[in-house]
Amino acid sequence: MTAKIGLEIHQRLDTRKLHCHCYANPSEDKADFKPDLVLRRRLKAVGGELGEVDAAAAYEAAKKRVFEYQVDPRFSCLVESDETPPEELNGEALQAVLGIAKALNARVVDEAHVMRKMITDGSAVSGFQRTTLIATGGFIETQKGKVGIQSIALEEESAGIVEKGHGKFIFRLDRLGIPLVEIATAPDVKDGEHAKETAEILGRVLRESGLVQRGLGSIRQDLNISIDGGERVELKGVQDLRLLPKIIGIEIERQKKDGVRKGGETRRIIGEQSEFMRPLPGAARIYPETDIPHVRITRELLEKAVVGEKSADKVTRLEKLGLGEQMAERLAFSKELPLFERIYAKTSAEPTVIASALLESLTSLRREGIATEKISEQQLSGLFSFFAEGKIAKAAVAEILRELPSGKGAGEIAKEKDLLKFSSRELDALVASGKGFGEIMREYRLRVDAQELQKKFKP
């Protein structure tokens, strides 16, 4: 028996959406989504480029379902609702995927053509998903030899399903249109353990691009398996890479016992088992997107795309700046890293203070419901310059962050809120007044640096 195994990885990019200006990160904003509006649609299968209705599309359409879409206008616009034509390919997402293609040794296409892939399960309002081939013919090195990379594409993420049952399907539009990098390997994967290693390597390359979303659902693995030259089965939705060896073993046994229906099958993974979803989609469902111009991938564009710095190198570099191991690791994989680097280069403020403000303070303020997205990079740089000049204490940084959404500068806020740091002379006066260290810290925590004050108490 010979088994052919290939992997397909889908990773969300943390940029604005692929064909409009909306931004959403459903793994983070989940609790925040408010369905202000509901659209109701019924889809029907239409002929693809070849004029025939694809088997998969026909299968889904035959079910005559009604689809509902929840809309929160903060996370989607008329593009996702299919009320207005899409915008051209998002340059930032393109740049990221070009870097990934380089890291995977793939050949980038001269011209990127946006295509429509028919999809009638309701997960796109328009009835199709846009997909753009970016590169082919790459490879990665693994312990069991090279694994070929057949294709790297940029796709639109589908709408997330909220509820289904009784012929009604309810989706959310925030997820729809987020850029997805789709990487398909050649059927070079030898066995289950090898599939796990391959998926881990690809996951690392994606994270090292520095532009990927993290958290539940932001990366998904599918499997392609066929045995003895038979029909192919696509297994969708591996949740845990550690289960790959088991899932593959079970699927090979299942194919030996039950066979595979003609034309192939798409199956959904549930735990380690799988269940039939629909026939494998054919080529008929892909046709050109005429609303979007082709993008020439010039030499300059390719040169500008950087292959991600190895994560281990990033962590070392950040540790050298004085960040602790844990903080360095978090920052190395965070989308805030470029912002951190720009602010540090501009202000020379203490790196741990910048990092903890970006990674911790801003996150907790956002959870409190403070509109941190209104804070500009200029305001942040202003704040850290002010801190680097010794005008405010470390403890005051978070307090000023809280007020920045008002649009005011750090200096103005510090004066208004009485957060300016005590000068050395003012500290002397406080100490001379007879107050103890603890008392001063309790009373003026936000205006005193503990280390500076400690020196005043040394004999």
- Applying CB under 5 A, which residues contact Zn ion? 20, 22, 77, 79-80
Is the Cβ of residue 77 or residue 147 nearer to Zn ion in the bound state? Answer: 77
* Minimum distance from residue 28 beta carbon to Zn ion (Å): 18
| Token digits of residue 112 | 């990127």
The Cα–Cα gap between 206 and 204 comes to: 5
Is the Cβ of residue 79 or residue 94 nearer to Zn ion in the bound state? Answer: 79
Going by C-alpha positions, the residue among 178, 156, 155, 161 that lies closest to residue 69 is 161
Is the Cβ of residue 124 or residue 343 nearer to Zn ion in the bound state? Answer: 124
* Minimum distance from residue 80 beta carbon to Zn ion (Å): 5
Is the Cβ of residue 81 or residue 361 nearer to Zn ion in the bound state? Answer: 81
What angle do helix axes 450-457 and 424-432 make, rounded to 10 degrees?
A: 50
* Minimum distance from residue 175 beta carbon to Zn ion (Å): 11
* Minimum distance from residue 9 beta carbon to Zn ion (Å): 25
* Minimum distance from residue 38 beta carbon to Zn ion (Å): 17
- The torsion angles phi and psi of 98, rounded to 5 degrees, stand at -65, -40
Is the Cβ of residue 132 or residue 381 nearer to Zn ion in the bound state? Answer: 132
Residue 290, C-beta contacts closer than 8 angstroms, at least 6 positions apart: none
* Minimum distance from residue 81 beta carbon to Zn ion (Å): 8
Is the Cβ of residue 173 or residue 401 nearer to Zn ion in the bound state? Answer: 173
Is the Cβ of residue 83 or residue 163 nearer to Zn ion in the bound state? Answer: 83
HSE-CB for 26 with a 13 A CA cutoff: 24
Contact between 124 and 41 (Cβ < 8 Å) = no
* Minimum distance from residue 217 beta carbon to Zn ion (Å): 19
Is the Cβ of residue 79 or residue 318 nearer to Zn ion in the bound state? Answer: 79
Is the Cβ of residue 79 or residue 331 nearer to Zn ion in the bound state? Answer: 79
* Minimum distance from residue 2 beta carbon to Zn ion (Å): 46
The Cα–Cα gap between 159 and 124 comes to: 6
* Minimum distance from residue 179 beta carbon to Zn ion (Å): 12
| Token digits of residue 53 | 């209705």
* Minimum distance from residue 83 beta carbon to Zn ion (Å): 10
The Cα–Cα gap between 45 and 223 comes to: 26
Is the Cβ of residue 77 or residue 154 nearer to Zn ion in the bound state? Answer: 77
Q: What one-letter code names the amino acid at 444?
A: Y
Q: Length of the chain in residues, anyone?
A: 459
Largest separation between any pair of C-alpha atoms in the chain: 90
Kindly report the CA angle at 55 between 53 and 61, in degrees rounded to 5?
Answer: 75
